[in-house]
Structure 1
């Protein structure tokens, strides 16, 4: 079987979707599928190639297609539209000369029309665009649909799609990267963190599409947990500047450590260095309905207690048996939850153990096996 994973993203990228896409390609290839990742040739600050950046074996092929890439940090809609348009042109030209026995697996609704050329197309959907009617018309031409949350599946079913056509496949984790044997003390030494502090940690991008991912609530909670140091790793320079200012305003800058983007192996060390891991997402439509955070599964593999927001997308995986669930947007409740992990370390560790056991069912390889069973 031949499979082309088509993604209109800058790759390598510091964003979590880059990890998800590369791990999917690796898993497809390891399942015996001849896999090619097709992406636009865009400028990237990464010096290493895809395989080195994500620490994966070169078991799949990467093909970069020409595009007009004028995208910068403050690019407008026209610039993004131009890049997308030229990528779609390049993709259609590329596939015009490919054998129709291949499967096209994509996150791009605009490429579903490759089915008109005779390809079987599977769509992986992470959100419903504002132009819902047009999107659903396109999606009906997909052979199979993969979504990352139950809420997304419900949206398709309510739009008249056959439920059997839709698979819910949340994000995953590479246990070889995040289920590592290292003591808390050694991990702190490796990432230069204080040995004797109680550390609450967040890893990954600090914002999504400009929206806060809960770091503001963490900073606002810190005055109520005076013995805790907050560490966040994975932010852009712009986002770190933003939250450094918030920490100064809240009078807790001496207990806030903000670090930049890091490799997966380094993020695993930050998690192992923590006493508790945080993901207090705000109650916004994207987080409530359209996410399956990669960090959630990484946290589960880290064997550290997790504090997470009470949102439907979170409850599809975590509940009170394996995490401390708090109301979103409530710094007081977040502070109380952090204090609970300090007051009852044995209880907190039992939650971490339960989450770790569940993580084994959410590896990238198992996710891919479920997808292959669905699309073939």
Structure 2
């Protein structure tokens, strides 16, 4: 197992995550699980029953635990807190059987349950950029267990400053096509798209308001809502039915990124809160699709040096202008697309980033691990700064 005194590699590993849903963080976790399987380790994943567990490959053993996140069925804050505490205890009973296994926590929500289970040592993969008061409590409960803390980007690491003893910085990766894109845009009117979970902080409503300002543009909102955000998704569809957008917006649900991106003029990440990646922007850059993203979090690093266009968060006017500029300057856009592809091909190739990320989590070394680029390096956080 991973022990607090030294790094050792177990022949089995358990990934633990709090939600039954599958989004970017869970996809990264499954990539790491596949790498463990490739290395000959037996792999288990502890999570609630749902879309995530239903997507497991045959070699992954599902360990069922209750949902450790927000309970949308409880109407009061006290009721939600009580329900979460009870779920932590139930999960701990199940996790107790895995105390001799190398454990990777894929979410801060799992840390109290792992502490209750008597686990000695945990590697924590940090996906979230912002640290809420509730998350600080979870980290405080789990801090004595944390042997390796690995953030997926420098901005994610910076949010942990003073809250853990040390944080390493890895990087996310995507599939990189062998052929570099030419940067040529599709013919016809501007077709903007976003690949996103339909939740308020992703800013899809801002995206729709921006498209409404572009008379000839069409939009694709590719993604699904989690159970707690079905009301927000309904609001988006209602907005798309207004006269200024009627017939111009489609909602295809969850789609393969490559299939969607091949039809788009521009990919938009309109998040109103800072992103740790986002993976979807990297996928667009690899596919040769220009990216417009909000100017905070990791996109500020990812799209630096004219690899994309950055706009202020929550500003549909600036977002509309940025999308228009993509179509208005095909030569400049083509050069931007080529720079973007070159960057992700060098620094965010999943064939290299996944093994390197796993090595950081397990405390192992790999001769194939590439050198970290400027947008994937951060100084270790201050130690002994209290708990969160």
Specify the TM-score bucket, using the shorter chain as the normaliser: 0.7 to 0.9
Paired residues of 1:173 and 1:297 also in contact (CA < 8 A)? yes
SS at match of 1:322: coil
Q: Determine which of 208, 212, 234 is the counterpart of 1:219.
A: 208
Matched with 2:175 is: 174
Name which of structure 1's ranges 167-176 and 291-300 shifts more when overlaid on structure 2.
167-176
Question: How far, CA to CA, are the matches of 1:133 and 1:148 in structure 2?
Answer: 21
SS at match of 1:356: helix
1:18 aligns with 2:22: no
Question: How far, CA to CA, are the matches of 1:174 and 1:251 in structure 2?
Answer: 37
SS at match of 1:18: helix
Q: Determine which of 123, 133, 144 is the counterpart of 1:130.
A: 133
Matched with 2:14 is: 5
User: What CA RMSD, in Å, does the superposition of the two structures yield over aligned residues?
Assistant: 3.5
Greater RCO (Cα-Cα under 8 Å, separation 6 or more): 2
Question: How far, CA to CA, are the matches of 1:184 and 1:235 in structure 2?
Answer: 27
Q: Higher helix fraction: Structure 1 or Structure 2?
A: 1
SS at match of 1:253: coil
Distance change >3 Å, CA 362–CA 250, structure 1 → 2: farther
Matched with 1:190 is: none
- Tell me the number of residue pairs that the alignment of Structure 1 and Structure 2 aligns: 336
Distance change >3 Å, CA 242–CA 171, structure 1 → 2: farther
Matched with 1:34 is: 41
Question: How far, CA to CA, are the matches of 1:69 and 1:311 in structure 2?
Answer: 29
Q: Which runs of 5+ in 2 are unaligned?
A: 1-8, 365-388
* Shift, 1:113, TM fit: 3.6
Q: Determine which of 284, 307, 327 is the counterpart of 2:292.
A: 307
1:110 aligns with 2:112: yes
Q: Determine which of 297, 301, 318 is the counterpart of 1:316.
A: 301
Distance change >3 Å, CA 47–CA 177, structure 1 → 2: farther
Matched with 2:196 is: 204
Q: Determine which of 87, 90, 98 is the counterpart of 2:91.
A: 87
Structure 1-normalised TM-score? 0.77
Matched with 2:350 is: 364
Question: How far, CA to CA, are the matches of 1:14 and 1:120 in structure 2?
Answer: 26
Paired residues of 2:221 and 2:251 also in contact (CA < 8 A)? yes
Structure 2-normalised TM-score? 0.75
Q: Determine which of 317, 321, 330 is the counterpart of 1:332.
A: 317
Distance change >3 Å, CA 250–CA 4, structure 1 → 2: farther
Q: Which runs of 5+ in 1 are unaligned?
A: 52-57, 186-194
